[in-house]
Amino acid sequence: MTTGELCIEGLRAEVAGREILRGVSLTVRSGEVHAVMGPNGSGKSTLAHVLMGRPGYRVLDGTVTLDGIDLLALPTWQRARAGLFLGMQHPIEVPGVSLLASLSAARTPPSGDGDDEVVPPDVAGQLAVEADRIGLDRRLLERPLNVDLSGGERKRNETVQLGVLRPRFAVLDEIDSGLDVDALAAVGRRVREATTEWGLGVLAVTHFARLLEVLVPDVVHVMTDGKVVATGGRELAGLVDQAGYAAYR
């Protein structure tokens, strides 16, 4: 297991000319689970996409490093190759493109610097194992990416990809929404296990504490209005769940 850290410092960013992130700082170490909680519009999802480099999200200031690598200087795909994963709140349909083809491509050296001697990893086998671990019907793996999947199936599909790609750090944007109780438990358990299996560091964005009963966080951040306004232990999640965010505005 390696150790490292995802370090966010003074991050400011805008979307469509409007500043959404107004100075976010936090550090996730390998093997840790951090939760980011906050009301709608607090900037949680924006943080997730800014970290991954979504087009249209412009960084104004601050730094993001992964094991010392300047992520903000890299295009999206190289951030992923550097070890960052984003489990999306709304996973996007890609018609005609299979999960197997896309993950095989993600695990293959990019065109140009390919090494013909590299034996392709058993992506299909790993997909099946990961699907079984969280109770996702293997037949759904045959579908084009996210096409005709329910909300909950998409979230489990994201979790399967996390298990196959084995990133250093995962940002999970409301991975709990759309999941029923059993699926939530399975997904939470899988992510928790990844923190010990290969030292995955997790930044889990969520509205509710429900996920955090399974995926128990080491650190909880409360975010409102584009800033982290409180940081504490897992007990903070319980407080927020009972009292809401009013005290932090």
Partner 1 sequence: MARRTAALEAFSAAPLPSAKEEVWRYSRIDDLDLDRFEPAVPAAGAPRSAVVSSRDLLDPFGPRVAAVVSVDGVLAVAEPAGPDGRDVVVGALAEHSEADALLGAVADAGADLVGLNDACALDPLLVDVAPGARLERPVVVLHVAGADGSAVFPRTVVRVGEGAVASVVEAVVSEQTARRLLAPGAPGVAHSGGAAHEPVPGGTREATGEVVPARALVVPVTELVLGAGASLAYLSVQALAGDVWSLATQVSSLGADASLSSFAVAVGAGYGRLRTDSVLAGAGGSSRLRAAFVGSGDQMLDFRTMQDHAAPRTTSDLLFKGALSGRAHSVYSGLIRIRRGAVRSDARQTNHNLVLDEGAHADSVPNLDIEENDVRCSHASTVGPVDEDQRYYLESRGIDPGTAEELIVAGFFDDIADQVPVAGADALVSRVLGRRLVETEHAEVLRG
Q: Pick the closer one to partner 1 by CB: 149 or 228.
A: 149
Place of tokens 């993600």: 106
- Least distance between partner 1 and beta carbon 114 (Å): 11
- Least distance between partner 1 and beta carbon 105 (Å): 5
Helix (H) and strand (E) counts in the chain: 8, 12
- Least distance between partner 1 and beta carbon 209 (Å): 27
- Least distance between partner 1 and beta carbon 85 (Å): 8
Q: 82: helix, coil or strand?
A: coil
Long-range contacts at 44-48 (CB < 8 A, ≥ 24 apart): 44/173, 44/205, 44/223, 45/89, 45/173, 45/174, 45/205, 46/13, 46/15, 46/20, 46/21, 46/226, 47/11, 47/21, 47/171, 47/205, 47/223, 48/86, 48/88, 48/89, 48/171, 48/173, 48/203, 48/205
Q: Pick the closer one to partner 1 by CB: 68 or 95.
A: 95
- Least distance between partner 1 and beta carbon 16 (Å): 14
Q: Pick the closer one to partner 1 by CB: 86 or 220.
A: 86
Q: Pick the closer one to partner 1 by CB: 49 or 190.
A: 49
- Report the interface residues with partner 1, using CB under 8 A: 52, 54-55, 75-77, 80-81, 85-86, 88, 91-98, 101-103, 105-107, 110-111, 144-145, 161, 165
Q: Pick the closer one to partner 1 by CB: 173 or 224.
A: 173
Measured in whole angstroms, how far is the alpha carbon of residue 128 from the centre of its chain? 21
